[in-house]
Structure 1
Amino acid sequence: MKKFFYILLLIAISIDGFAQPKSRETINFNKSWKFSFENNEKAITNQFNDANWRVLNLPHDWSIEGQFSEQHLSTTQGGALPTGLAWYRKSFSMPMTAQNKVVWIEFDGVYRNSEVWINGHYLGKRPSGYTSFRYGLSKFLKFGKEKNIIAVKVDNSEQPNSRWYTGSGIYRNVRLVITSQIAIDKWGVFATTPKVSQEEAEIKVEVNLLNRAKKNQVVDIQNIIVDSGGKVIVSEHTKNLSLKDSTGKYFQLLKIKKPQLWSIEKPYLYKVITKVFQQNHEIDVYESTLGIRFFNIETEKGFSLNGKPTKIQGVCMHHDLGALGAAVNVRAMERQLEILKAMGCNGIRTAHNPPAPEILDLCDKMGFIVMDEAFDMWKKRKSKKDYSSDWTAWHQKDLEDFIKRDRNHPSIFMWSIGNEIREQFDSTGITITKELAQIVKKLDNTRLVTSALTENVPDKNFIFQSGALDLLGFNYKHEGYTDFLKNFPNQKFIASETASALESRGRYEMPQENIQFSSRDVKTQTRNADWTTSAYDNVAAYWGTTHEEAWKAVKNAHFISGTYVWTGFDYLGEPHPYPWPARSSYFGIIDLAGFPKDVYYMYQSEWTEKPVLHLLPHWNWEKGKTVEVWAYYSQADEVELFLNDKSLGIRKKGVNDFHVKWSVNYEVGTLKAVSRKDGKIVLTEEVKTAGKAFKIKLSADRQSIKANGEDLSFIKVSIVDENGNLVPEANHLVNFSLEGVGSIVGVDNGYQASLEPFKANYRRAFNGLCLAIVQASEKVGKITLKASAEGLQSDTIMIETTK
């Protein structure tokens, strides 16, 4: 009987998944929220009836669930998807053992103008949709069996407030954090490396404590550094520290002999475990990532990492995940970075706002050099309802939280305080730049401060004239690179944004001799009937240039530390050069579905040491047409082209060439390229004339995924002929059906003017390809996806889910 009552006691103190609190407990708070577009202010009260509201798990982006529509043309730049206002509510219980604890709710990001209540008590408002924030819940909570209600109002109705797709809702992770009365503050540990060499590294650890005990305290602090396997490398324990006020700041210095250095090739990570004690009793523990590395940027020589000269080969990335929208999913982010890493990319610019923390975790683990960006505008607006209206009240708090949140990430090498800021054109830019740089340096003086500038003439650029930037970041205008050292003596440089080339995957127009620039006015833009642009690298936005021209300028300028190409992936919104019905960008090296465009292989041939040979275009044309054939290649001296085994000649790249080309009179058959080095074959690639579409072919990026309710398998759908050749212009409507322990959470095809919804069980192929994204449930088992289309043989693929 005693055992029975003991079990009941354990159940009573483990309500809604909360075990008895430890010194610090972090609880995933994403599950089982109620959601509604019903705008009823009574939703803040515990008595409100939300029985008819939708139940869902976070992160959640309601915009991506909507239909593309002309009704949303006020948000065309944002993707022409619905925005509006909505509410979230969650019911939960707190164990009695948490009564003497401090309870916080943490939001990684809510878009936009979020307001939060607990049990009817107002906690606050956060206008920015990109910042992370928290609220204290303790004094408003009910403990035991009584229910607590958290209510969140999200108002993204004022439009336009962005130049790209933002998403709407609680689209990043939420958690509860339970601590003792004395605990490490949020983002309260900061580890820096004041001295680093191959022989020894000094680690300075700053610990910020929060005292809610209402009286002076004495504490001990211990910092432990462990290696990637969890082995303790060094430990420092300081006793009898006085904590007199509500906060306290303390420092320790630790040393590691022969440290493993964090690098692009081997991003080695240590961990700092910080513990707080009172009377030998552990009252808090906090873990931080540590990467040990040193870097330098010189005026004449550019960037070096750990003493090794390194060109930053980066891309700019907006935060949306294609068909998944802005809702955070770690696997979707990881897939994007894997595709970029295989291309040779080693840098990410978080354009143009604080990213989700998970993308920075991945950059730490995978080895990317990050430019972490805070703002797209300051006090002067770019859109009618954007953050400029919140600037005066919120920019200091938002910037401080941004720096404190992200400063332990070794992947971050530079802070960007702005992108193409309009204050660069007048003297207000001097004052604001100095203020922002001072805020950054007060919180982190270990990294460089930059801003992405459009004006590369000193007299026209007041942000530069402030003298507050450590690194000058310039967007576009690559023709001016040759004058940088003369115009900006003793400065350091990064090409913060380059290219803005325009391509639709698999769409080929025979290249012209000159670059085709878009019109400044989309209404006068010459259009293709299907709203596509050519996949040859010969079309660019009027402010930019082609990928090849942009890279050539950076590659040949030794003083430019590197580049961040606009952009790595296509993204929702900014559908330049076309208006509606175009609804996503054309700038990506990779399309919205994650399929590489041809120029991907140009970068791969330049940015990696691997042999590359890529042939374009496809080989299905009308008889007698003159087709321009390009080949990207590397690790070879030459490429020979054959048509139906007849040589069409050998081509070799010049010093500043990135591809070779032939003009070929089309005939049905096989186009074959052979690359050679020292007379020996390196690689061979063939492109065959495809026959009539015959069947569907499915292939998954992973056929074994985790049964955690979040993991994804990205399934590529190819329309092929009887011999397995991709049919390059196939546009069949593909229908999907799924059985088993998962669901279809998104479909896409990479076509920038497709108006089909992302949340569906069908998708039309675009130039032979489309995509289905399958998500695991929390059950172990199998998922079977079937794809079918009228007139084609169907295909089936099986995905296994495991714990």
Structure 2
Amino acid sequence: MEKRFLNEWRFSKQEEKEAWTKDFDDSTWEKVTIPHDWGVSYPFEKHFSSGTGYLPGGIGWYRTKQSLQALGDLTNKVVKIHFEGVYKNARVWINGYHMGMRPSGYASFYYDLTEILTYNSDDSLLISVRVEHTDLADSRWYNGNGITRPVSLEIHDSIYIDEYGTSFSTPCVTDQQAELVIEHRLVNTLKQDRVVRIEQMLESLQTEKVMNISQEIQLNAGERRTVTLKAKIEKPELWSPEVPNLYQLRTKLSYQEESLKENESVYNEYVGIRSFQFDVNEGFSLNGQQLKIKGVCLHEDAGSFGTAVPMEVWVRRLIKLKEMGANAIRMAHNPHSFALYRLCDTMGFLVFDEAFDEWENPKNKWWQGHNVYPPKLEGAAEHFPTWYEKDLENMILRNRNHPSIIAWSIGNEIDYPNDPYASPLFAEMTGNNDNSKPEAERIYNPHRPDMRRLRTIAEKLVRLSKTLDPTRPVTLAAAFPELSTKIGLIDHLDVVGYNYKEHLYEEDHRKFPDKPFIGSENSHGFKEWQTANTLPYIAGQFLWTGIDYLGEAHGWPIHGSGAGLLTLAGIEKPSYYKRKSWWSQEPTVYLTTIPYEKNKRRAEWEPTYRKWSYPAEQEIEVRCYTNAKEVRLKVGNLEVPNVRYDDTFGYYVARINYQPKTLSVEAVFEETILHDEIRPEAAPTALVAMNYEIPQRWREKLAATDLTLNKNLHQIECQVLDYAENPIAAEVMVYLEVENGTLLGLENGDLADTTAYTESFRRTMQGKLLCFVAGARKKETVVTLRSPGLPDTRLILKNREGST
């Protein structure tokens, strides 16, 4: 099978009459590269929806023309076009023929072009796509606009493996032997029967050990048939987050044409061998060893890229999460891009894959700020009754061969009371877990849809999931289990996910002794982590969230959620280092400060600062995030007394009257002493810039699984310095000029900064800024950064032909 990506398109962000016709003139349209999110190409505006980040939607058209001759000889070939994701309501025409539509912006879909191409009067293949996202408040977060994921042409022989037609499973695994079951759904488009030889090769990417099996079958004319191959492999190289061993699964189909010419086609997948279990008493185990899940929830946008996120940006982010100690990701609240799953396989993250945020009735969509009434009631629920089976099938069949995926989630917070479902039992309760809502929203409303309906839908979704993939458990993320467990919502689940609600773990473990539990969404507190970590029957937790995201904003000018450990720029917050001190096995230490206020109760969510510049003698609370058993804190050369470990919040703390001398700490470990310090800030005197380089070991691992990195996409990290070359948190305006390249965007992580992403200037936040630049091939790209009052910074970037 040959795959060709269709990257270059023309785009118009308006309704276009008859743009589906083959002879339509699109010469004045904008040239864009797919993946493409048009939303971030426009300014933030207050009249748009806060839920979707104050960015526009609308109607957009895409068109591309391809040469059929360039595709080679298509005789006896099957040609398909594959869309990985279009947000949303995509309608597709090929050479003027309407192929169909797909409402979901997260589902991948394809069309068979074989017959259409036989009607061609010329050499051209013209593809037209209409995207409609006019219901701006259709989601609780930003979902993007347009063809936000790759598009490709697939050229198959007449006998081929159907779309998502390969299944790889390991029903029995030990460190000595693994049983393999490989299934292929084969399609014969010929009008004659054929004997087909299936040659299966499983090659280790680590040791290059190879296992071969083969089988011959007769495939009748026009037949579709699932063929099963079984084998055993000795001493398998097991996949885990710590050692993500992978195999290449290479399938060769061969048969004779009428001319007696041997016809061969090859299909590749990357798979892993592992076993796992969710146990009602022992929690989660992988390859026979107990493992606590340390997960983060992620939405799929990345600031200036919207949801059309380059893989290189994800790699940088995932490396940081990996170094923090995270070993799992929950794909909130929809299937994500193919590349992200492959990265999880390759880099070593367990995955909870999630299908829906709402079922047949819409949730509240906040458009004037979070919990500001009245909400709008638009969104994916409109299409759920018609499309849920196809959308769920698409997610599971597309993703089932990823070793990283350990559970299918059929929904997120579907049971949120009065949003929209209600129950008479609610009248007996004191309220739900969102006390900021008006009182009318916190009492039973008999005019809402009845909550008992959820059990019926859940049963259908679980049954379908099990039919499509019997090898993984099915779960959901429950928001109000006090109520939903009473109406049977969790009865058919294999694993029960609670969003927050840690106080119910022990009680519900006793009430439902046949159910394994996990924290499917959790806040960042030490108490919440300790609860999950110390109760053996809790599989782990998923923090809300790992990275800040656009949308779900509290109100203008805030246009995103700051719930992450990393900012939108992928820059570590102090909370990142706090979490690292709890999750990572590597020695770590990090200082942060906050003005002390007497009688003010400390909160997990309050921001702290990487700075040591305050009014003289102001009382400052110093916090030290470390996994060391002993610390020595100093101001200047004097050691600070009364440094104590606060086991309520999980860090060392001391209160100091500010002095303009270096604040430092020594963290004492068994075999080493780590040092950290913050110096009093002086005025900014320089801006430094460094091109982020993905470490070579990750480049090699990604290349081994055909994850091609763009060598000419540059992520430039900028930092403000003082006269002593110390990094400082100064906010300065930065102007960028790019020679022999293109500025793709600037991101500082400030969710209140409404500077349009198309601008070539942005101020730093906490002294930092991230710049994305596409270099020109075979030329040096020169980036000049200017900031008033500071010397210009010039960075020369080497570019190369091709990728790695």
Would you call these one fold, judging by a TM-score over 0.5? yes
Aligned to 2:615: 622
Aligned to 2:718: 717
1:600 to 570, 576, 582: 576
Residues 1:76 and 2:67 are matched in the alignment: no
Aligned to 1:788: 786
2-structure distance, mates of 1:244, 1:488: 52
2:476 to 448, 451, 456: 451
Aligned to 1:653: 645
Deviation at 1:352, TM superposition (A): 0.1
Aligned to 2:493: 469
Pair 563,704 (structure 1): closer, same or farther in 2 beyond 3 Å: closer
Residues 1:765 and 2:769 are matched in the alignment: no
Q: Is the 8 A contact 1:639 1:652 kept in 2?
A: no
Aligned residue for 1:115, secondary structure, equals strand
2-structure distance, mates of 1:460, 1:272: 42
Q: What RMSD, in angstroms, separates the aligned Cα atoms of the two structures?
A: 2.1
1-structure distance, mates of 2:222, 2:207: 34
Counterpart amino acid of residue 135 in structure 1: Y
2-structure distance, mates of 1:482, 1:162: 34
2-structure distance, mates of 1:342, 1:62: 33
Q: Is the 8 A contact 1:638 1:652 kept in 2?
A: no
Greater alpha carbon shift after TM alignment, 367-376 vs 788-797: 788-797
2-structure distance, mates of 1:333, 1:461: 40
Counterpart amino acid of residue 392 in structure 2: L
Q: Is the 8 A contact 2:525 2:649 kept in 1?
A: no
1:699-743 residue CA offsets vs partner (Å, 9 max, x unmatched): 221299999867522212111110112232x22111111223x32
1-structure distance, mates of 2:535, 2:790: 52
Deviation at 1:460, TM superposition (A): 4.5
Fraction of identical pairs, as percent: 34
Deviation at 1:93, TM superposition (A): 1.7
Greater alpha carbon shift after TM alignment, 324-333 vs 184-193: 324-333
Pair 197,172 (structure 1): closer, same or farther in 2 beyond 3 Å: same
Aligned to 1:224: 201
Aligned to 2:370: none
> Counterparts of 1:24-39 in structure 2 under 5 Å?
24-31=1-8, 33-39=9-15
Counterpart amino acid of residue 744 in structure 1: L
Counterpart amino acid of residue 277 in structure 1: S
> Counterparts of 1:382-781 in structure 2 under 5 Å?
382=363, 383=365, 384-422=377-415, 426-457=451-482, 460-462=485-487, 464-465=489-490, 467-499=491-523, 546-575=524-553, 578-617=554-593, 618-634=611-627, 636-649=628-641, 651-653=643-645, 657-677=649-669, 682-702=673-693, 711-728=712-729, 730-740=730-740, 742-777=741-776, 779-781=777-779
Aligned residue for 1:70, secondary structure, equals coil
Q: Is the 8 A contact 2:311 2:709 kept in 1?
A: no
Pair 708,53 (structure 1): closer, same or farther in 2 beyond 3 Å: farther
Query: How many residues end up aligned between the 2 structures?
Result: 723
Pair 112,463 (structure 1): closer, same or farther in 2 beyond 3 Å: farther
Greater alpha carbon shift after TM alignment, 403-412 vs 682-691: 682-691
Residues 1:185 and 2:159 are matched in the alignment: no
Pair 340,677 (structure 1): closer, same or farther in 2 beyond 3 Å: closer
Aligned to 1:330: 311
Aligned to 1:132: 108
2-structure distance, mates of 1:704, 1:49: 46
Aligned to 1:41: 17
1-structure distance, mates of 2:190, 2:409: 38
Aligned residue for 1:802, secondary structure, equals coil
1:350-370 residue CA offsets vs partner (Å, 9 max, x unmatched): 000010010000000001000
Deviation at 1:646, TM superposition (A): 1.0
Q: Is the 8 A contact 2:142 2:301 kept in 1?
A: yes
Residues 1:247 and 2:239 are matched in the alignment: no
Contiguous gaps of at least 5 residues in structure 2 = 366-376, 416-420, 424-450, 594-610, 700-707
1:414-468 residue CA offsets vs partner (Å, 9 max, x unmatched): 0101000146962211211111111111111111100000123366554534x22
Residues 1:94 and 2:68 are matched in the alignment: yes
2-structure distance, mates of 1:183, 1:463: 44
2-structure distance, mates of 1:800, 1:751: 30
Aligned to 2:272: 291
Deviation at 1:654, TM superposition (A): 6.0
1-structure distance, mates of 2:452, 2:191: 46
2-structure distance, mates of 1:230, 1:625: 60
Pair 220,461 (structure 1): closer, same or farther in 2 beyond 3 Å: farther
Q: Is the 8 A contact 2:711 2:799 kept in 1?
A: no
Deviation at 1:620, TM superposition (A): 0.8
Aligned to 2:428: none
Aligned to 2:342: 361
Q: Is the 8 A contact 1:111 1:166 kept in 2?
A: yes
Pair 249,722 (structure 1): closer, same or farther in 2 beyond 3 Å: same
Counterpart amino acid of residue 686 in structure 1: E
Deviation at 1:484, TM superposition (A): 2.5
1:312 to 263, 268, 293: 293
Pair 709,193 (structure 1): closer, same or farther in 2 beyond 3 Å: closer
Q: Is the 8 A contact 2:52 2:136 kept in 1?
A: no
1-structure distance, mates of 2:206, 2:564: 37
> Counterparts of 1:104-253 in structure 2 under 5 Å?
104-141=80-117, 146-228=123-205, 231=208, 233-243=210-220, 245-253=222-230
Pair 704,671 (structure 1): closer, same or farther in 2 beyond 3 Å: closer
Aligned to 1:538: none
2-structure distance, mates of 1:297, 1:462: 24
Pair 387,709 (structure 1): closer, same or farther in 2 beyond 3 Å: same
Aligned to 2:354: 373
Deviation at 1:695, TM superposition (A): 1.1
1-structure distance, mates of 2:307, 2:518: 28
Q: Is the 8 A contact 1:458 1:487 kept in 2?
A: no
Deviation at 1:28, TM superposition (A): 1.2
Aligned to 1:506: none
2:262 to 251, 263, 281: 281
Deviation at 1:665, TM superposition (A): 0.5
In the superposition, the TM-score normalised over structure 2's length comes to 0.87
Aligned residue for 2:244, secondary structure, equals coil
Deviation at 1:186, TM superposition (A): 0.6
Counterpart amino acid of residue 626 in structure 2: Y
1:267 to 244, 262, 270: 244
Aligned residue for 1:176, secondary structure, equals strand
